[in-house]
Structure 1
Amino acid sequence: MNILIAEDEPVSRHLLEVTLRKWGYEVTAARDGAEAWEILNRPEAPNLVISDWMMPKMDGLELCRRVRGDQKKEYTYIIILTGKGKKEDIVKGLNAGADDYVIKPFDREELKSRVGIGERIISLEREVRRLASTDPLTGILNRGAFMDRLTQEINRCNRENTPLSLIMADIDHFKKVNDTHGHQAGDRVLQEFAETLRNALRSYDFVGRYGGEEFMICLPGTDGAPARDVAERIRKEVESRSFTLPDKGGAIGVTASFGVVSRAPESGEDLDMVIKRADKALYEAKGRGRNCVCMAR
């Protein structure tokens, strides 16, 4: 874990750095609250902060207020380091947004314990967020998390003037699988289908379960023809794969239909427009007899 230290006094800052590194943490150091705030706004910013109260440019309490007023997805745990030991000062620090405090000069064992508490809380928060964003059956992104990430990706593509493609996939005649082989078999097909999609993608592509037997894939930086090739490759993989039946020792084959849409940054299309076009292309694929790929017009 990377810990950010915000401390204007050089000797105290150095002592904190040495102590934390000795315990196995990575350390990023800031000389005042303003520099710490700038660091916290970078990508991959630390999630745990040890901040002095009294600092030039921006003090520790103002840093707490700014962090709490930010709409970051991940939680930032803040420990205030202060010589102010009065009860009213501690309450003031906590009310500003600090999670914990350590009185100067700090005791190493006390600091180690309080940092450990912060680390556990951050780990729990990350696990809660992971569970909230994951489809429990397939282990991929659920609809809400996928849509949030797709929105972020569209905004990024607008800033960087790059294309983006979306693939909407639907398992053909899935109801027949449930009716013939049971819902456990249907669940297994969904799990293995999601695995097939995930294995076909690059590290920065992402896939989510849109609902029922419908799935969506986002291909950042990819325009129409390559996106169609990806969808066709997945279609062939699904068609050739045997899907395991639970408790029966057998397997079945399934097919899937795919709608592909490519979004150019200059198009100005928003999230709803892109999804509507992908859905229309998928509907066309089903109208052509299923087990095929159709590009949005």
Structure 2
Amino acid sequence: MIKVLVVEDSVTVCKVLFHLFQQEAGIEVEFAKDFKTAKALMGKNDYFAALCDRCLPDAPNGEVIEWALAKGIPAIVLTARMDEDERTRLQGLGVVDYVLKENRFSYQYAVGLVKRLQRNGDYRVLVVDDSQVARKQVKDLLERHQFQVAEADSAEAAMIQLATGEFKLMITDYEMPVINGVELICKVREQVDRDELIIVGLSGREEVSARFIKYGANDFLRKPFFAEEFYCRINNLIQAQELNQKLWQRAHLDYLTGVANRRYLMTQLQDHWSQSVASGQPLCLAMLDVDMFKQVNDQHGHQAGDRVLQFLARELSQSLERFVVGRVGGEEFAVVMPGLNGEQAWRLIEAVRRKVTGQPLQLEALSLGVSFSAGICQGRGDDTIDTMLRRADEVMYQAKEAGRNLVLLEEESV
């Protein structure tokens, strides 16, 4: 939960913002109608951000904005008018952005900015430039929007940073010694695609913009640039990537448990089986079925059944993060385990079974024991993914017939 302060003397504007913030989970909003009240609230509360009216009865020149910034609170300015001099002054102060009080969309944009700042705190950005002054300028802009920022003074240093850390965005200048920005992007794109890392190129030379884009940059900014344009480009790129990730998740992940859905699981199994055949490395498949699941639904309701599935999916994902975990359907899951032989796979799934049965699921006042039965098979030269699924499924049902809460390897079932 984050806390946001709105400093605004217009009752109408406050009502609109209150309504919009009420629709956002995880945000608590407080209001101050004047500078005096705002100072008192800032003195006793920690605010994630403040939306500040530029002209208040007791602070007609934006004093509340400077006060919030001095307290280390990111400030979004609400204003009825804006000219070039005032825009320059506000950018110089270090505000997040300004919003003209024109219509409902303006206030939706302001609330969206707060949500954007909240998400940005999880993202790391790499700034690459051989000029320390230029790096600091970009870094300062990014930190205003709550990004975590790392720096590299050369393409070589950037490659080391990228290899040792996870980044959402890389911003690189063109003109650098030894390896320029376009050459750096070529090297990066050999390892990381556009869906994983956003890259923005910078240069004072307009003619290199096409080279940046052609060789893998998501966008290009010509120097010098306005801070507003910088933020609009960066935010739009990140929002587009977030949307693509959501679409990917909807297409590939199970809506209830968050593990791979059946279609994506089958694709992964086929890919890993093809690699196994080509490399000669083993591949094992485990099929798991929740014990007495119908009884859970009948006695405690489908909501309890959903919680059981989510619990097991979470335990499988955490314990088997190296491998592909998917929901086949209903209460049935599968795990694709490349690189493991049958005995190794059995030991791993057995360890998960022991862990699951050793920690009952707490459902309000109810403590519910959860267990599963599993069958494991190792791929053979004449297999297809269909025959592997059938073999693992047969072993799983033999485990259930043998008393449930049991993991069997195919050879053990003969």
Same fold (TM over 0.5): yes
Cα separation, 2, equivalents of 1:134 and 1:146: 9
The structural deviation recorded for 1:178 is 1.4
The structural deviation recorded for 1:235 is 3.5
Structure 2, unpaired ranges of 5+: 1-123, 176-180
Equivalent residues of 1:205, 1:218 under 8 A apart: yes
Structure 1, unpaired ranges of 5+: 32-37
Per-residue CA shift, 1:145-181, capped at 9, x if unaligned?
A: 4344444544555565432322110013322221232
- Taking structure 2 as the reference length, the TM-score comes to 0.49
Residues 1:158 and 1:51: Cα distance change in structure 2 (over 3 Å):
farther
Q: Which of 262, 266, 279 is 2:378 aligned to? A: 262
Equivalent residues of 1:163, 1:220 under 8 A apart: yes
Residues 1:43 and 1:74: Cα distance change in structure 2 (over 3 Å):
farther
Equivalent residues of 1:257, 1:293 under 8 A apart: yes
The structural deviation recorded for 1:211 is 1.0
Residue 258 of structure 1 aligns to a residue in which SS? strand
Amino acid in structure 2 at the alignment position of 1:293: V
Matches within 5 A, 1:68-87: 74=195, 77=198, 79=200, 81=202
Cα separation, 1, equivalents of 2:370 and 2:235: 49
Amino acid in structure 2 at the alignment position of 1:272: D
Per the alignment, residue 179 of structure 1 pairs with: 298
Cα separation, 2, equivalents of 1:4 and 1:271: 45
Per the alignment, residue 250 of structure 1 pairs with: 366
Q: Aligned-residue CA RMSD in angstroms? A: 4.9
Per-residue CA shift, 1:253-296, capped at 9, x if unaligned?
A: 454221101236xx374433432321222233234443333323
Higher relative contact order at CA 8 Å, sep ≥6: structure 1 or structure 2? 1
The structural deviation recorded for 1:204 is 1.6
Per the alignment, residue 341 of structure 2 pairs with: 223
Equivalent residues of 1:151, 1:271 under 8 A apart: yes
Per the alignment, residue 283 of structure 1 pairs with: 397
Per-residue CA shift, 1:216-243, capped at 9, x if unaligned?
A: 1233322111212233333444455534
Equivalent residues of 2:194, 2:218 under 8 A apart: no
- Taking structure 1 as the reference length, the TM-score comes to 0.64
Cα separation, 1, equivalents of 2:348 and 2:314: 15
Which deviates more, 168-177 or 139-148?
139-148
Equivalent residues of 1:188, 1:244 under 8 A apart: no
Cα separation, 1, equivalents of 2:152 and 2:244: 22
Q: Is 1:163 the equivalent of 2:282?
A: yes
> Which has the greater radius of gyration?
2
Per-residue CA shift, 1:18-42, capped at 9, x if unaligned?
A: 65456654467998xxxxxx99xx9
Residues 1:85 and 1:239: Cα distance change in structure 2 (over 3 Å):
closer
Equivalent residues of 1:164, 1:220 under 8 A apart: yes
Cα separation, 2, equivalents of 1:160 and 1:17: 45
Q: How many residues align?
A: 280
Residues 1:229 and 1:102: Cα distance change in structure 2 (over 3 Å):
closer
Equivalent residues of 1:47, 1:74 under 8 A apart: no
The structural deviation recorded for 1:214 is 0.3
The structural deviation recorded for 1:99 is 5.3
The structural deviation recorded for 1:188 is 2.3
Q: Is 1:214 the equivalent of 2:335?
A: no
Cα separation, 2, equivalents of 1:291 and 1:271: 26
Amino acid in structure 1 at the alignment position of 2:345: A
